[in-house]
Amino acid sequence: MKYLVYPVLAGGAVAALVALVAAGVPFPLAAGPVLAGSALAVLLLERFRPHAPAWHKDLGDARTDWLHLAANLAVSLSATAAYASAWRATGGLGAGWPDSLPFAVECLLALVVADLGLYAVHRASHRVQWLWRLHAIHHSPRRVYWVNGQRRHVVHEILEGLPGFLALAALGAPPAVVACAFSAITIHLMYQHGNIEYRLGPLRHVFAVAEVHRWHHQRRWHDVQGNYGGVLALWDHVFGSVLPQRGDAPLDVGMDDEPDLPSDWLGQMRWPFRRRARAGRAAAPQ
């Protein structure tokens, strides 16, 4: 059972979305039920097949996490709508997209392009000081569950998606393809951060699932410099950023390196732009 959770539920949801859009169902009508169904599936799995029952406890962070989720969902919807508007206004944006391929293959190609952009920005966010100030918010929770997979500053959300959007625009990828690709990423992130007991076997070297990504959320700064893959763990293997640890990561997640980081959503939105406290992080990015 634990080896079927991701391929059947996450993979099945993505396949259903792509099939519906390919069949002519407008993207909003197809995506709404699929994304809502995926969220419900993850909620039920977290309840009945938790990886860490202790992570069920609200540590005073749930309200902040849900506000991040709502804000970043609004950003994602606005970005895909803006892309579609630009596509219509310019008659197709760039050129070179292989639109003769099957729709599902086009979506897979777009996902790979977008995910490489996510990997690049994520890796840079652990090395560039001003990007870290935005990204540190994502590392602050003391538990990992599906909602706080979206605990990201809205500026960082934009920056992470921007390379993929720009590359796909330059290539002339159709809006439906782009929307499906980014929705697939959203579904994957639910399972990547889900407090769910599942495994993927050797395919964990291909997909950056929870058992891989939890190592990236360890509390000590020096233990999280790797496993940057968003959807594909392949990028970490290609670019040499795989963390050496194997097996289950300890439940000691979070971050002690930014003691002045607020716990509320509005405070976290303001924090990266405040003057840095003198007693800042113990280990700044190099």
Are 164 and 115 contacting, i.e. CB atoms less than 8 angstroms apart?
Answer: yes
- The pLDDT assigned to 279 comes to 43
Q: What average pLDDT does the segment 258-262 reach?
A: 91
Residue 111 maps to a domain? yes
Q: What average pLDDT does the segment 188-200 reach?
A: 96
- Residues in the chain, total: 286
Query: How many domains, the chain?
Result: 1
Structural domain span for residue 13: 5-273
Q: Could you give the angle at which helices 175-192 and 27-48 cross, rounded to 10 degrees?
A: 10
What tens digit of pLDDT does each residue of 43-92 get?
Answer: 999 999 999 999 999 999 999 999 999 999 999 999 999 999 998 888 77
Comparing 93-102, 183-192, 213-222, 275-284, the range with the smallest average pLDDT is 275-284
State the Cα–Cα distance between residues 213 and 208, nearest whole angstrom: 6
Which H or E run includes 233? none
**How many CB atoms sit inside 10 A of residue 166's CB?**
12
- The pLDDT assigned to 89 comes to 87
State the Cα–Cα distance between residues 249 and 262, nearest whole angstrom: 26
Residue 23 reports pLDDT greater than 50 = yes
Are 132 and 209 contacting, i.e. CB atoms less than 8 angstroms apart?
Answer: no
Q: Supply 151's token pair.
A: 């605990």
State the Cα–Cα distance between residues 36 and 30, nearest whole angstrom: 11
Which alpha helices (DSSP H) does the chain contain, by range?
Answer: 11-22, 27-48, 62-90, 103-125, 129-139, 154-171, 175-192, 210-213, 234-238, 265-270
Residue 284 maps to a domain? no
State the Cα–Cα distance between residues 278 and 187, nearest whole angstrom: 39
When the pLDDT of each residue in the chain is averaged and rounded to a whole number, the result is 93
Residue 98 reports pLDDT greater than 50 = yes
Residue 283 reports pLDDT greater than 60 = no
- The pLDDT assigned to 277 comes to 56
Q: Supply 136's token pair.
A: 């540190």
pLDDT: which is higher, 1 or 282: 1
Residue 285 maps to a domain? no
Residue 149 maps to a domain? yes
Residue 280 maps to a domain? no
Residue 281 maps to a domain? no
- The pLDDT assigned to 280 comes to 42
Are 218 and 249 contacting, i.e. CB atoms less than 8 angstroms apart?
Answer: yes
pLDDT: which is higher, 226 or 92: 226
Burial class (CB in 10 A: 0-12, 13-18, 19+), 215: buried
- The pLDDT assigned to 161 comes to 95
Maximal CA-CA distance, the chain: 57
Residue 279 maps to a domain? no
pTM (2 d.p.) = 0.93
- The pLDDT assigned to 154 comes to 97
Residue 286 reports pLDDT greater than 90 = no
State the Cα–Cα distance between residues 172 and 178, nearest whole angstrom: 10
Residue 282 reports pLDDT greater than 50 = no
